[in-house]
Amino acid sequence: MRLVTAILRPHAVDDVRAALEPLGVHGMTVSDVHGYGRQGGHTEVYRGAEYQVDLVPKARVEVLVDDDAADAVVRAVVETARTGRIGDGKVWVQPVESVVRVRTGEPGTAAL
Amino acid sequence: MPVLLHVVAPVLAAASTPPVHVDTGDTAWVLVCTALVLLMTPGLAFFYAGMVRSKHVLAMIMQSFACIAIVSVTWVLVGYSLAFDDDAGGGLVGGLHLVGLAHASVGVPGIDLTIPPLVFVLFQHLFAVLTAALLTGATADRMRFESFVVLVAVWSVVVYAPVAHWAFSPDGWLHRLGLLDFAGGTVVEMCSGASALALVLVLGPRRGWPREMMAPHNLPLTLLGAGLLWVGWIGFNAGSALTAGTLAASAALATHLSGVGGMIGWLALERRLTGKATTLGAASGAVAGLVAITPAAGYLQPLPALAVGVVAGAVCLFAIRLKFRFRYDDSLDVVAVHYVGGVVGTLCVGLFAATVVNPAVTHQGLFLGGGVEQLGKQLVGVLATSAFAFAATYVLARVLHATIGLRVTADHEHAGLDTSQHAETAYELTTTSTIGRSHG
């Protein structure tokens, strides 16, 4: 099993979820995160004082998938979330040692 | 249809206390205004609370609410007497005849009232509360709550009450000199602003200022507070007419127009300087205009009132730069908005005061052909109030800082005043943040 983690523009999450559905992905974890990469932050002005805000809001999407589904999932995420501008995000894949479904105790692929 | 009621001849009235003939219309109006002035302190609490970081928001609000409690007690016990009793000497401070509000229902020395004197007591009482609460914007995010309580209790008696006597009591030396301060440009705005500067010089800056970004955490709260202040300010200024008539109407209109002018002046300059008109600028500009018209509301015609607002909005925005240049952490710009705005408004009385608005204007403003006479009196008021409020507050703050200590520890400041001073958190926005056990 693999863990696919994607850092995306927040508004891309809905499209990504829809694109993964046909690939048999029936669950994901989404969190609000902040970070920076090549995309700069933005400037905010309060009473004439300018502040450079370095961290940009992003969404982190985590999906557990079968080993042979990982490539297709990554491809779908990249194609769906891409705008071509700096700040589209990153996707990475890690091996997962074991997974257990809490409700039933089922281990491995059955738990996905 | 005013109904005149004779108050029973006061037995213990001081020689200078004129008899009171109560007019029900005037009384109803000033009672309403009194409630409006009370609304300003929670309004100010929200105005400030939105501008601090989320870990300090409850402490910010708490300080304003605490002022309602603390100053209410000190005012009733001794503050009112020091401000409005017959002069104790030199026009500097009132006597102790009215301590504990003894004899306060009989009349107010030197003032011809058409409202019950206790309405005047409460109306002025809430001015004292608000003025103390204004200080909290400068000292935000770093004062121990217990020390704040002591500071405000003493400050309201030794700094506010004398300054109120100077300008508001007919016995006060500035009043006798001929200073025109309709609703507290010197007493409320400059007194709080100059005191705030003294406090932050003793306290020192917030840890991390000005290097760290300390942006407002909830601007809708700030805008809500500004709106409440604006409404309350009608009561503050128009109520200062102490009658329900032409003067109150004129003051209400001038107040509103100056708030409008302040917003326009601030936003126009801000957009020119930074490219954007901000919501915080709209709120701040309106408050700056309302501050500036406070001393002038009952003396100015409508268009000059609008102009005062525009000038105050622009000047106060510029004044915010001073804290970065001179490195004092006036956190929420009490000096730039209240002190500077108060100076602008107090001096503008000397430029625009019109006898047609208020017969109390004996020397018309410079721009109305009255020469510099009134402007000179206004300048004396500005200098004297600034010097006394700054010096007295500086000494008081130094003494308290050396004895009971004014600042929280570094750990408490980093953790936030909400948890360290009040054992509470303002916002529980995630389901995991409230996981824990009760020690019921």
The mean pLDDT of B122-150, rounded to a whole number, is 98
Instruction: Indicate the range of B109-113, B123-127, B297-301, B427-431 predicted with least confidence.
Output: B427-431
Q: How many CB atoms lie within 10 A of CB B415?
A: 14
**What is the rounded distance in angstroms from the CA atom of residue B282 to the CA atom of residue B291?**
14
Please report, for the domain that includes residue B228, its CATH number. 1.10.3430.10
Divide the 112 residues of chain A into consecutive groups of 10 and give the mean pLDDT of each group.
96 95 94 89 87 91 96 97 95 96 92 86
Residue B10 clears pLDDT 60, i.e. is over it: no
Is B29 a member of any domain? yes
Interface test with B, best of A32, A46, A53, A54 (most B CBs within 10 A): A46
Nearest to B192 by CA among B241, B265, B147, B139: B139
Q: What are phi and psi of A50, to 5 degrees?
A: -95, 135
Query: Would you state the pLDDT for residue B224?
Result: 98
Q: Are B401 and B150 in contact (CB under 8 A)?
A: no
The answer to whether the bond into B210 is cis (omega within 30° of 0) is yes
The mean pLDDT of B349-353, rounded to a whole number, is 98
Interface test with A, best of B223, B270, B274 (most A CBs within 10 A): B274
Q: Are B317 and B266 in contact (CB under 8 A)?
A: yes
The residue range of the domain holding B165 is: 17-423
In Å, how far are B63, B80, B201, B331, B363 from B150, measured between CA atoms?
A: 12, 19, 18, 21, 42
Query: Would you state the pLDDT for residue B172?
Result: 97
In Å, how far are A60, A76, B177 from A33, measured between CA atoms?
A: 6, 22, 63
**End-to-end CA gap in chain B:** 60
Mean of pLDDT over chain B:
95
B 205-234 → A contacts, CB under 8 A: 213, 215-216
Interface test with A, best of B211, B213, B338 (most A CBs within 10 A): B213
| Long-range Cβ pairs for the range A90-96 (8 Å, 24+) | A90/A6, A90/A7, A90/A37, A91/A4, A91/A5, A91/A6, A91/A7, A92/A4, A92/A5, A93/A2, A93/A3, A93/A4, A93/A5, A94/A2, A94/A3, A94/A5, A95/A1, A95/A2, A95/A3, A96/A1, A96/A2, A96/A3, A96/A64
Is A48 in contact with B270 (Cβ distance < 8 A)? yes
**End-to-end CA gap in chain A:** 9
**Residues near B307 by beta carbon (within 8 Å), at least 6 away in sequence:** B261, B352
* pLDDT over 70, % of chain B: 96
The mean pLDDT of B108-121, rounded to a whole number, is 96
pLDDT tens, residue by residue, B389-435: 999 999 999 999 999 999 999 999 999 999 999 999 999 887 777 77
pLDDT tens, residue by residue, B208-224: 999 888 999 999 999 99
Total number of domains constituting chain B:
1
DSSP assignment of B338-375 equals IIHHHHHHHHHHHHH--TTT-TT-SS--GGGT-TTHHH
The alpha carbon of residue A46 is apart from the nearest alpha carbon of chain B, in Å, by: 7
Is A51 in contact with B270 (Cβ distance < 8 A)? no
Query: Would you state the pLDDT for residue B14?
Result: 56
Q: Are B148 and B140 in contact (CB under 8 A)?
A: no
Residue B365 clears pLDDT 60, i.e. is over it: yes
Interface of A with B (CB under 8 A): 44-53
The mean pLDDT of B45-65, rounded to a whole number, is 98
- Angle in degrees, 0-180, between the axes of helices B340-352 and B302-319, rounded to the nearest 10: 150
The alpha carbon of residue B263 is apart from the nearest alpha carbon of chain A, in Å, by: 13
Query: Would you state the pLDDT for residue B15?
Result: 58
Is B156 a member of any domain? yes
Write down the domain spans for chain A: 2-111
Is B157 a member of any domain? yes
Is B299 a member of any domain? yes
Task: Tell me the two tokens of residue B65.
Answer: 């609410």
Nearest to B19 by CA among B7, B3, B30, B27: B7
Is B2 a member of any domain? no
**CATH number of A2-111: 3.90.1150.10, 3.40.50.11260, 3.30.70.120, 3.10.180.10?**
3.30.70.120
Facing residue for B276 by CB, picked from A45, A52, A53: A45
Q: Is the pTM of this model over 0.90?
A: yes
Query: Would you state the pLDDT for residue B437?
Result: 80
Residue B3 clears pLDDT 90, i.e. is over it: no
